[in-house]
Structure 1
């Protein structure tokens, strides 16, 4: 009786073939690390004014460097969420004194041509004179004010600006 029960349980399993064939899939991913040296300045995010709708009158878009808040004036409408201050990490000695300066104000040019917008102000999340932390670090953020023209041509606009940190 035991033998018949054993074969009654085992027979369906043997008839089904191997239990669950194994499958494998391969994929690759990138990995990256940045090691900085003392007296370094590293850009970790860009100044983004976000998606905007230009109206029949000129206006401005302002990004606050302290909290990434975006505000608009005049004929500009903020479309959806978006906008952030640029972020830089500066690395030096513990409690080291620094001075932050910027290059010329940028002009954002339309990709493919046919338009530009001027950044009329770049603002920092603190004084231009600062001390690094006890660990020798500082989270430096840069916001700005973008001048949007009346009926500004739609498209993607890009430009660059320069930040310099002098270590004392």
Structure 2
């Protein structure tokens, strides 16, 4: 299953104080690796619609699977940069023929309850029938269209979708 994340935000003012006191900060990061086997499909990036500002008018957010471009319509405003297509890597034989399908369209539910949004379409960065590269690889990307309701409740929204690759 693939997780989709979107953030709906309200406009707010943030006041920061500044002082001349030295500060130390720590941060941590994670590192990971995936070892793939032939005839496998690995998710490397989630589909993200980014931070959004809703209004009294419904609208949509579209993520282009080819270039990660984010467009909005209706009463939705994109808040800052953000948004990206999901990325999967397929691994099979050199020039192997594949068929890509998806499961049901997802519904994104507000974490903690109190709202949902429908994904009305998932799009691929190419045709559903295609060939793997001479190395047996394919960069498969999935974009989509999110329906944002009028006065959509602020919060984090998450959902899942399935992608299946059939190797011939």
Q: Which residue of the partner structure matches residue 41 of structure 1?
A: 41
Name stretches of at least 5 consecutive residues in structure 1 with no aligned partner. 1-27
Q: Which residue of the partner structure matches residue 142 of structure 2?
A: 142
Q: Which residue of the partner structure matches residue 59 of structure 2?
A: 59
Distance 1:145 1:166 in 2: 25
Q: Which residue of the partner structure matches residue 155 of structure 2?
A: 155
What is the TM-score when the length of structure 1 is the normalising length?
0.82
Distance 1:110 1:152 in 2: 10
What is the TM-score when the length of structure 2 is the normalising length?
0.82
Does 1 or 2 have the higher relative contact order (CA < 8 Å, sep 6+)?
A: 2
Q: Which residue of the partner structure matches residue 130 of structure 2?
A: 130
Looking at secondary structure, tell me which structure has more strand per residue: 2
Q: Which residue of the partner structure matches residue 113 of structure 2?
A: 113
Q: State the 1:34 CA deviation.
A: 1.6
Superposition pairs for residues 2-41 of structure 1, below 5 Å? 31-41=31-41
Looking at secondary structure, tell me which structure has more helix per residue: 1
SS in 1 for 2:143: strand
Asked if residue 68 in structure 1 is aligned to residue 65 in structure 2, the reply is no
Q: How many residues align?
A: 141
SS in 2 for 1:55: coil
Distance 1:164 1:63 in 2: 20
Q: State the 1:29 CA deviation.
A: 7.5
Distance 2:130 2:167 in 1: 10
Distance 1:60 1:30, change over 3 A: closer
**Ranges of 4+ aligned residues in structure 1 off by more than 3 Å:** 28-32
Distance 1:58 1:30, change over 3 A: closer
Name stretches of at least 5 consecutive residues in structure 2 with no aligned partner. 1-27
Q: State the 1:126 CA deviation.
A: 0.2
Distance 2:88 2:29 in 1: 26
